[in-house]
Amino acid sequence: MIRCTGKLSGICRPGRPRRITLPAWRSARAVDNPSQLFKAFADTTRLRILNLLAQRDHCVCEFQGILRLPQPTISRHLAYLRRSGLVQEARYGKWIMYSLAEPRNEVHAALLHCVRGCFPKIDFLQRDIERDKKTKPILCR
């Protein structure tokens, strides 16, 4: 869930979550297509994004700081992950937070289990987790 700090404190109040889940665009069809799911794992940037989402929800600007990549690149990869059914988004006011999607079938569940269990053991993905822990929560501009 989102950390309520700074400008977000007026949007997200304890006891009154304002989470609005957006529909997973095309994900129902993509999740049933194993080749689409496996293609999502075929890019290092997407692996890094999935690894961070296994730890907690993130917004695009947080990915920028951790991955040190430009916003359009991150947004393009997040769109691919959404279409594959691995990632979902939720809107909090004008901010969009991304999280791992709920599994829709056994293959999807097994892949997400691997993301949560196996990815943190990979060196370059572990460095992203450490960088995320050191990074203070920031707000999108």
Q: Which domain CATH number covers 33?
A: 1.10.10.10
Domain count, the chain: 1
Domain that holds residue 105: 19-134
109 domain residue, yes or no: yes
- Indicate the pLDDT class of residue 137, thresholds 50, 70 and 90: low
Residue 14 φ/ψ region, left for φ over 0, alpha for ψ in the -120 to 50 degree band, beta for the rest: beta
pLDDT tens for each residue of 28-72: 556 667 788 889 999 999 999 999 999 999 999 999 999 999 999
79 domain residue, yes or no: yes
pLDDT tens for each residue of 83-130: 999 999 999 888 899 999 999 888 888 989 999 999 988 999 999 999
Mean pLDDT of 125-136: 88
Instruction: Report angle CA 35, 49, 60 to the nearest 5 degrees.
Output: 125
14 domain residue, yes or no: no
Closest CA to 141 of 67, 78, 65, 68: 65
107 domain residue, yes or no: yes
Q: What is the pTM of this model?
A: 0.75
What is the CA 36 to chain-centroid distance, rounded? Answer: 17
